[in-house]
């Protein structure tokens, strides 16, 4: 059997968070660069499938390919780390400063990787700028404007909406990271992590790393979006929402639901037994 029980998965989550926080700065940057670029590849593949089939579900089914590659190769996706490293900090396996350093360097890596792919893909899809009518180029422009100006038109409600959609997104993305830990086989990991990623992409929720590619790519192709529009109306609230969704709904809720210490203490209380060494000593008269 290659199935890994939830209690063991929880231990793996803490260990993975510690390992991510303790990488060198160059590893964080390079793995973030590769993670961002590969996810951008998967995004354009999904958009290609959607354009060719006129079925958004086709794109959602294909998109997890990028996520699978990133996880199996041990690359960095800051949104996945939002569920893992906070647990390691909570368990005192690493520090808050190391967590923030990881997030900062990986995000910089993502931005560079996504920008490089956006520039190269833009040249390829428009035939070096000679075919701006290409449906994929127009799709990137439309998505870029929708993800920024669309929320801007709503004012403060737009900020709340994008924040909520970011929470929902990373609840599923980090669940995909955790699901990959439930199997010891490569095939089992692929199938397990595929499902939550499909769920978030098909419903149009907001993923920070995808947006680090889509919005700048649209801007490069002529979208009427400024850097301020990008960061104020999307990137910053999406990063914050992704963190809440990953850390709270996947990281800590999974921890609270499967923490062995809490389970054993609960069983001891029900049996009328002491729950700590001090209480045990008192109970025995020591």
Give the 3-state secondary structure of residue 68: helix
DSSP 216-265: HHHHHTT-S--HHHHIIIIIHHHHHHHHHIIIIIIIIHHHHHH-HHHHHH
* pLDDT in single tens digits along all 286 residues of the chain: 589 999 999 999 999 999 999 999 999 999 999 999 999 999 999 999 999 999 999 999 999 999 999 999 999 999 999 999 999 999 999 999 999 999 999 999 999 999 999 999 999 999 999 999 999 999 999 999 999 999 999 999 999 999 999 999 999 999 999 999 999 999 999 999 999 999 999 999 999 999 999 999 999 999 999 999 999 999 999 999 999 999 999 999 999 999 876 544 444 444 454 444 443 333 433 3
Half-sphere exposure of residue 73: CA atoms within 13 angstroms, side-chain side: 16
Residue 275: both structure tokens together: 């729950």
> Cβ-count burial of 176 within 10 angstroms (0-12 exposed, 13-18 middle, 19+ buried)?
buried
Residue 223: both structure tokens together: 């979208």
pTM for the structure as a whole: 0.90
Residue 177: both structure tokens together: 């990271």
């Amino acid at each position: 059997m290659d199935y890994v029980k939830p209690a063991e998965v929880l231990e793996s989550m803490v260990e993975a968070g510690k390992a991510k926080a303790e990488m060198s700065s160059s590893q964080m940057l390079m793995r973030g660069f590769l993670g961002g670029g590969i996810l951008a590849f998967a995004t354009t593949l999904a958009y290609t499938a959607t354009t060719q089939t006129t079925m958004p579900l086709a794109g959602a089914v294909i998109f997890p390919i990028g996520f699978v590659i990133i996880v199996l190769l041990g690359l960095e996706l800051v949104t996945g780390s939002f569920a893992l490293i906070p647990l390691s900090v909570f368990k005192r396996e690493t520090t808050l400063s190391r967590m923030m350093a990881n997030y900062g360097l990986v995000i910089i890596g993502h931005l560079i990787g996504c920008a490089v792919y956006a520039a190269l893909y833009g040249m390829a899809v428009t035939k070096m700028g000679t075919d701006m009518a290409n449906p994929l180029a127009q799709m990137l422009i439309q998505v870029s404007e929708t993800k920024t100006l669309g929320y801007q038109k709503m004012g403060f409600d737009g900020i709340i909406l994008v924040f909520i959609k970011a929470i929902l997104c990373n609840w599923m993305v980090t669940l995909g990271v955790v699901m990959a830990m439930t199997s010891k086989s490569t095939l089992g990991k692929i199938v397990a992590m595929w499902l939550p990623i499909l769920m978030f992409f098909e419903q149009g929720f907001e993923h920070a790393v995808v947006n680090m590619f889509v919005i700048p790519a649209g801007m490069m192709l002529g979208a009427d979006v400024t850097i301020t529009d990008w960061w104020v109306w999307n990137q910053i609230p999406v990063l914050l929402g992704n963190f809440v969704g990953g850390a709270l709904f996947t990281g800590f809720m999974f921890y609270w639901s499967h923490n062995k210490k809490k389970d054993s203490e609960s069983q001891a209380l029900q049996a009328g037994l002491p729950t700590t060494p001090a209480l045990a000593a008192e109970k025995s008269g020591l």
